[in-house]
Amino acid sequence: MATHTTRMLIIGSGPAGLTAAIYGARAGMEPIVVQGLQPGGQLTITTDVENYPGFRDVVQGPWLMQEMQAQAEHVGTRTVWDTIMEIDLESGPPFRARGDSGDEYIGDVLVIATGAQAKWLGVPGEEALGGKGVSACATCDGFFYRGKTVAVIGGGNTAVEEALYLTHHATEVTLIHRRGELRAEKILQDRLFAHPKINVLWNKRVEAFLGDPGAGGLSALQLADMQTLEISEFPVNGAFVAIGHAPSTALFKGRLEMDANGYLVVEPGTPKTSRPGVFACGDVMDHTYRQAVTAAGTGCMAALDAERFLATFEYLQGEQAQAAE
């Protein structure tokens, strides 16, 4: 079991963590990125990405993340395939973490970029048809459904916002909810009910996503009526699961300030968490925008603030050492 020491320890290898690494490495902080169970993050489970700046043509999510990692390594980042299982923030800086491998990681500053995971229904066909008609992000994939029919599954604010957003592209949007009323705010509900392109199917649960992943993708949803238990098929070109996201913050519970949904709380307009020297970026602190480019943007901010923090920290350490002589 080894000990890895760095000036900048980054947990997570999505767009946020790798952008923080690019900036940190170029500032001479020799970052270590611990990649976690999903090296490259959420974009590695999608196909077409059409809204990341710099590419006129559609690029593939996994390719984009390989390029980000290659760029981070090229400027001096070390990426490690490990998952952080324990962390000690109380006695830092420097901060200590232990990986699943048993290795110890010690960083003078810590950047948390552990992201979030969309919640899925977990029904047949969902995984196989992911990126082939089934999505969890209207902002990301809505554009691919121009002139087509789509369904949104859920009943909260996110589901209603996704449905309203999709009216810009799709010919018809159907909101499917397993209850007889929505949880979304009244103002959103008013806009939803008034929209001529949106229909609501009440008291229906999605039992399965139907279609051929190899040819044509999603073709229909299998629905169960919650009151009569009757099973029906609902033909549709695209389906957006909008039942929420879960930030990956279990490690930091009780150690850093979080909101009611478990997202890390940062000082407004900055990546600073409730503990000096610990910065958060990307989806783990952002439940609003949740895009690769915003994750990369906050990753940059985390690295710049980490560098400033480190300059002061190292200066004070030098002063203490001098005073002790």
Ligand X SMILES: Cc1cc2nc3c(=O)[nH]c(=O)nc-3n(C[C@H](O)[C@H](O)[C@H](O)COP(=O)(O)OP(=O)(O)OC[C@H]3O[C@@H](n4cnc5c(N)ncnc54)[C@H](O)[C@@H]3O)c2cc1C
> 3-class SS at 204?
strand
Among 49, 220, 301, 310, binds ligand X (CB under 6 A): 49
Under the binding rule (CB under 6 A), the answer on residue 246 touching ligand X is no
CA distance 183 to 177: 10
CA distance 277 to 274: 9
Query: What is the torsional sign of CA 44, 298, 285, 112?
Result: positive
Under the binding rule (CB under 6 A), the answer on residue 46 touching ligand X is yes
> 3-class SS at 184?
coil
**Would you call 137 a catalytic residue per the annotation?**
yes
Among 9, 14, 31, 192, binds ligand X (CB under 6 A): 14
> 3-class SS at 322?
helix
Decide whether 65 or 200 has the Cβ nearer to ligand X. Answer: 65
The residue type at 257: E
Among 4, 26, 30, 51, binds ligand X (CB under 6 A): 51
Under the binding rule (CB under 6 A), the answer on residue 297 touching ligand X is no
Binding mask 76-115 for ligand X (x = CB under 6 A): -------xx----------------------------xxx
> 3-class SS at 190?
helix
At residue 218's C-alpha, the angle toward residues 213 and 223, to 5°, is 125
Under the binding rule (CB under 6 A), the answer on residue 45 touching ligand X is yes
User: What is the distance in angstroms between the CA of the first residue and the CA of the last residue of the chain?
Assistant: 34
* Among 140, 283, 286, 305, the one annotated catalytic: 140
Interface residues for ligand X in 116-135 (CB under 6 A)? 116, 118, 135
Which residues are catalytically annotated?
137, 140-141
Interface ranges with ligand X (CB under 6 A): 11-17, 34-39, 41-43, 45-46, 49, 51-52, 83-84, 113-116, 118, 135-137, 140, 248, 251, 282-284, 290-293, 295
